[in-house]
Amino acid sequence: MTPRERLIVGLDVPTVREAETIVETLGDDILFYKIGYQLAFAGGLEFARELAESGKKIFLDMKLLDIDNTVASGVENIAKMGMSMLTLHAYPKAMRAAVKAAEGSGLCLLGVTVLTSMDEQDLVDAGYEYDPHTLVLKRAEQARIAGMGGIVCSAEEASAVRKVIGPDMALVTPGIRPAGADKGDQKRVMTPADALKAGSSHLVVARPIVKAEDPKAAARAILAEMATAL
């Protein structure tokens, strides 16, 4: 894959109008966009459908988790929307239900292991007995067994996760920050080049592009850095 196929720009903005402006500004430089809760609940689901119909690839970051039938029904409808990727929390039963529902659709299902905003103390506070690294690897293995299309994890875990899931599954890493960029609320981050070298297949970048003074220049700089690492 080319850098353009690997870079996913997070449309983490509050309105569809702002998202439209970003897409218009970035033009043909960017193929892949992520839409999460913030935009989804402000008209972003229909916008996602429109982007897909225009030829863009869409990563719908919904982090689904519910009873099996509900997960399956949601996945079936999301596949009909023409989405390229969809996240759900990497719980074995939910993943198995989602995989069955997505059969034949081309939708790449991604298991969310541990949020990149969470560190070991956060997991302790949430009642988990595992540290982030151990829990990420455990869930990665469960995702592989369930037949998922890929994994979402921190780039810090990418190398170890790649050994667990093998060469074919997608490995999507948020928390990507160019050298010198503000980490924001992310706790486990890595530069684009280092993330690719560690085994990531796709990089999610939001603020360093969408909040830049010149988003197009910022995106092109990241694409260029990715090209040097490939």
Annotated catalytic sites, by residue? 61, 63, 66
| Structural domains counted in the chain | 1
What is the tens place of the pLDDT at every residue in 10-54? 999 999 999 999 999 999 999 999 999 999 999 999 999 999 999
Binding residues for substrate: 12, 34, 61-70, 116, 177, 186, 206-207
The CATH number of whichever domain residue 166 belongs to comes to: 3.20.20.70
Question: In which domain, by residue range, is 20 found?
Answer: 3-229
Name the pLDDT band for 184 (thresholds 50, 70, 90). low
Please state whether 145 falls in left (phi above 0), alpha (psi between -120 and 50) or beta.
Answer: alpha
pLDDT at 161: 95
Name the pLDDT band for 190 (thresholds 50, 70, 90). confident
C-alpha distances (whole Å) from 155 to each of 122, 190, 199 are 18, 6, 8
What is the tens place of the pLDDT at every residue in 69-117? 999 999 999 999 999 999 999 999 999 999 999 999 999 999 998 887 7
Read off the DSSP letter of residue 87. Answer: E
